[in-house]
A and B are shown apart, each in its own frame.
Chain A
């Protein structure tokens, strides 16, 4: 039961110039530019609204966040912890600004309506998919391959903006770790990562993930991780 995450990742080698900006900083000046995500236009200046990497692609200027809480989007696979059990579903903490709701109807297997705590109760960990984002929270579903309750193993948390690095291009990085440590790994786009294997493998996988997070901007990251996994055998 392993969830594959197929977000397309922009590689660092691309020839788009990115620079770190802070709120209120002028990114570019000129009439030709249009403000994109997290930027605003004041006269001729395009100004940053957020800490992150500014990118000018064509005429549009936008900021790619590198820190901050997870902002749920439809289609994201997330891992969350059950916060509360209600009569028709579960409240799940996915680490964002709002907790999300998993309705009973979105659970594909049979569950006794009179005792839904039997399937998952407070403190249990689930992987789920976001199918709707609304004001004040997101709705989750388990109706997809590889979703459901996660039992055993360990749960770690990383910065959600580093998730694409941990997964790598088409899952290359995560598969590398999985193969080397013989561990099941599920990565939630909210930055929660669930690992299950023997304790040695889990430990090694966790360290490898922390290495990726720490050195996420370094070049030749795959080689470094390979070396780390190989060297510890």
Chain B
């Protein structure tokens, strides 16, 4: 059987990321902030806190909480996105918060909240991954005590090919076995998966290949995160 997916629409290699943009400290008012972009997918994140949590009934006397807010700006997609929370953004807020909470030392300030705001400026698939990457950088920059970093990437299976960093056109692939899109978030040191969402179908052994591809890609992304946190402005998009 020959594959229907032989070349990626944007001519990337199967394991190649889109040009990355990464920068920290973009929002002076926030305790920590960052921008992260996979090509045309641009996300910014701002972190505020730890600060007192109100309403008080949400407080946890043993630990602080992370309150994550993910939203797409109206102009981030071709057809205007209605602003405000919706079912999709609420779900992504929750998974992004959980993906980050597992590395943060929340027991340090009980009864407090760390606000993480993720905004998508421009979307071309993998928005949650770009958002989590930006949020992890913003958290680190905000001086939050955390064990390690989190990097996130989407891995796709287009017909029978495993590809890294999926774009919208690939997400909509319908020929052959169709498209599968898996969003991974992985910790930088212990390589643990803190978030995984699978959309579509995949065979067990192919899934293990996808995990391996995610690990390799997350290591590359982590490298960008380190460089951006150390003050570098990374912009591979203009060449």
Contact = CB atoms under 8 A, between A and B. Distances in A.
A24 interface: yes
Interface stretch (B79-87, B107-115, B153-161): B107-115
Contacts of B196: none
Chain B contact residues: over half helix, strand or loop, or mixed?
loop
Interface string B101-144: 00101000111100000000000000000000000000011111
Q: Identify which of A47, A51, A67 gathers the most chain B CB atoms within 10 Å of its CB.
A: A51
* Chain B: interface size category: 20 to 34
B140 A23 contact: yes
Contacts of B147: 23-24, 40, 49
A139 to B, nearest CB: 16
A49 B147 CA distance: 5
Interface in A131-165: 135-136
Interface string A70-113: 00000000000000000000000000011100000000000000
A123 B32 CA distance: 26
A69 B146 CA distance: 15
Interface string A4-37: 0000000000000000101111000000000000
B100 to A, nearest CB: 11
Contact of B142 (A22, A67, A99, A135): A67
Chain A contact residues: over half helix, strand or loop, or mixed?
loop
Contacts of A97: 49-52, 64, 109, 112
B164 interface: no
A51 B109 contact: no
Contacts of A52: 143
Interface of A: 20, 22-25, 38, 40, 47, 49-52, 65-69, 97-99, 135-136
